[in-house]
Amino acid sequence: MRIEIIGGGPAGLYFAILMKKAQPGARITVHERNRADDTFGFGVVFSDQTLETFERYDSESYRAITENFAYWDDISINYKGASYRVGGNGFCGCSRRTLLLLLQERARALGVEMHFEADVSDLGQFAGADLIVAADGINSAIREANRDHFQPSVDLRPNKFTWMGSTKPLDAFTFHFKETEHGIFIAHAYQYEPGRSTWVLETDPQTFENAGIGAMSEQESADFLEEVFAEELDGHKLLINRSMWRNFPMIRNARSTMDNVVLLGDAKSTAHFSIGSGTKLAMEDAIALYESLRRTSSVAGALADFEDTRREEVEKTQHAADVSLVWFEHVKRYWHMDPVTFAFGVMTRSKAITYDNLELRAPGFVADATRAFAEKVRASGLDVDTKNPVVPAFQPLRLRDMQVANRLVVSPMCMYSAVDGVPQDFHLVHYGARAIGGAGLVFTEMTCVSPTARITPGCTGLWNDDQEAAWTRIVDFIHGQSAAKVCLQLGHAGRKGASKLMWEGMDRPLPAEEAWPILSASALPYYPESQVPKAMERADMDAVKADFVASVERAIRCGFDMIELHCAHGYLLASFLSPVTNERTDEYGGALENRLRFPLEVFDAMRAAWPKEKPMSVRVSATDWIEGGISADDSVGIARAFAAAGADLVDVSTGQTSPKSAPVYGRMFQTSFADQIRNEAEVATMAVGAITTADQANTILAAGRADLVALGRPHLADPAFALRAAGDYGAGEIFAPKQYQPGKFQLMRNAERAREELKELKIKAKPKTHNPAFREAAE
């Protein structure tokens, strides 16, 4: 077998090593454009988990690497004069030059041929090769020469960064956040060998411009940064090695294989330095390609296997890197935070680390973050224990005169089970069970303000006496049998009205003979086959506003604790907010200020009718997930406008504006929008969307990303979700009706024991340490 590898970086060399070990008779040649001992940059980072993988695949190169690394267990976060050290991480730093020389030596010993100063841009010279590996870096000539096939996308991120080194010794992976007259600078620093540390310096475009760095030479920018981080460098110099300022390119390819050619490493995909995964990703690409060749009998089959099996894992890493880099791009958003909350946000920024696994690594740090959260609750006027506080999810919250016992919320979820808008026994059991199950706040499904405001024939309403009586029965039951508060979500379906029940065809139009007339901001149907809505005139607006006010007056008599106005998901009021659905040329169309006008009119009228001591919230779609639609920045302006009108909470959802919406799904995928609105618009928010555990809720709350956390499907599957979570976290003060007290008592006893057993199992499952000092002591 003949294998030609273009690029002598970690990906190409490691693949050569693995294949030569497996097939000693194969002819494997590496072609590298640079000299053997050339390298740019300073150190690379590997976690204990990654080192464990290297040990399994090639123990010789693993030993060579671990004999030449600097190991640390802590992450140090330095912000506004405070420093937090978070242990239990297990990372090592290794000189990039040393890593390459070690891999070269290992490859040479196995019989791999290597040619240096060999710049390859044409695949024609490799005619007859069985496999061609293009591991030729971010600016891959092979990828660029075949763009039509590989279809690369390069997202140049806005922040500027440069890669420098220093003689400053470090005993932790260190983040320095430094505010200057120009703006905020960030240092990502770690030691990689005795007397040498890597310093990646990052800043936002405005700070870069304010400081005039673009006009500086390489050495001048190093001199400037030495002044910025003079205290942190403690007299040590910054070292340069092609340390040019640039924008990080997030690279993805629609395809990574072409005939017998495969892209590896940075040529195929990049991951931001803030999660230290670039070299890891490259070497794991090499392992994955090796495994694909081992599993199949042909190169074509192996490359097809690699294309199928490697993509998901890479996308997970890239998604974590995307979330992480965005946090650093918006660090100014968090500059008002106290140091421990800020540090908790740094640690949990990529969603890979959560409250629970951080507590395993650094229980003292998590205790500090939990105490800081409780102290803020106490400062808001609520009497809570700050010496031995419960976890954030079980801390109370006050909105006006309404106090919820915990932050776990039953998300508004349409049940499509009403009859003529009247809630049935199903609704009594549905809402009542979840209230008894311990949730702090229960939201109703979107309840419609008139017969023609319904989404489907099965939607609940609040426009007549029968509906009012049914809702009163539900509210009275919840208040009488639980500690939960109840929020009524009011809405109007707009152009998504007169649709089939969800399980009969979500958002699909009813047959004409069963439908009712619908309204919207503009006469645009939801689907091409949907009914064309009437573009609202002034008389329609007045009638709809009166319907909302009439429902509010009924809600007061029902005894609801809170009401929410639904301005999301493409429904009537959302159709005014979004430029995707609002094509009006009058005072209700065009600029955001105009598009806000009618939704704010409705909100103002509702707020005037609703008791002053009771809170109101508004649900928004923080992005349409459509080019030219509402953006995250627009949503901050929308939230500010509603807060100024008297909204106490913004319920932050996204999308569903149009069938063309293209959401990027994932764990907690909408939380970043709640985070932005909370910390930029300075209004309380509720996070919702693919949040499935109390652990995730604690993470969101402790990091200051939201004030309430709504969970939908978990509450559908388990009405006692909150009660079980209280057991998991020892929050024994959670309310349970007297009939259920024995069950609660047993749950708390069992949960305490189970929690300790699970903790022990998680500790045992952690990757072993690769710190030589610790391993030698253990042996």
Bridge partners of 442? 410, 486
Give the span between the Cα atoms of 284 and 101, in whole angstroms: 19
Respond yes or no: is residue 14 known to be catalytic. no
Within 13 Å and on the Cβ side, how many CA atoms surround 157?
A: 26
Separation between Cα atoms, residue 548 and residue 535, nearest integer Å: 19
Burial pattern 166-204, b for ≥16 Cβ within 10 A else e, equals: bebebebbbbbbbeeebbbbbbbbbbbbeebbbbbbbbb
Exposed, middle or buried, 328 (CB in 10 Å: 0-12/13-18/19+)?
buried
| Burial category of 153 from C-beta neighbours within 10 Å (exposed 0-12, middle 13-18, buried 19 and up) | exposed
Q: Using CA atoms, how far apart are residues 116 and 48, in angstroms rounded to an integer?
A: 32
Residue 589, number of CB atoms within 10 A of its CB: 17
Residues 742 and 23: beta-carbon distance below 8 Å: no
What CA–CA distances, in Å, run from 419 to 423, 451, 462, 571, 617? 7, 11, 12, 21, 27
Catalytic residue among 79, 192, 526, 571: 571
Between helix 694-702 and helix 721-728 the angle, nearest 10°, is 70
Q: Is 415 helix (H, G, I), strand (E, B) or coil?
A: coil
Answer whether 329's CB lies under 8 Å from 157's CB.
yes
Rounded to the nearest angstrom, the gap between the alpha carbon of residue 129 and the centroid of all alpha carbons in its chain is: 43
Residue 51, C-beta contacts closer than 8 angstroms, at least 6 positions apart: 62, 65, 66, 92, 767, 770
CA distance 440 to 722: 8
Look at the block and give the residue holding tokens 């706040």.
441
15 close to 5: Cβ distance less than 8 angstroms: yes
Strand partners, 619: 566, 651
Q: What are 154's strand-pairing partners?
A: 251
Q: Are strands 75-79 and 69-72 parallel, antiparallel or unpaired?
A: unpaired
* Alpha carbon 100 to its chain's center: 34
**Nearest-angstrom CA–CA distance, 537 and 332:** 43
User: How far, in Å, CA of 385 to CA of 655, rounded?
Assistant: 39
Catalytic (active-site) positions: 571
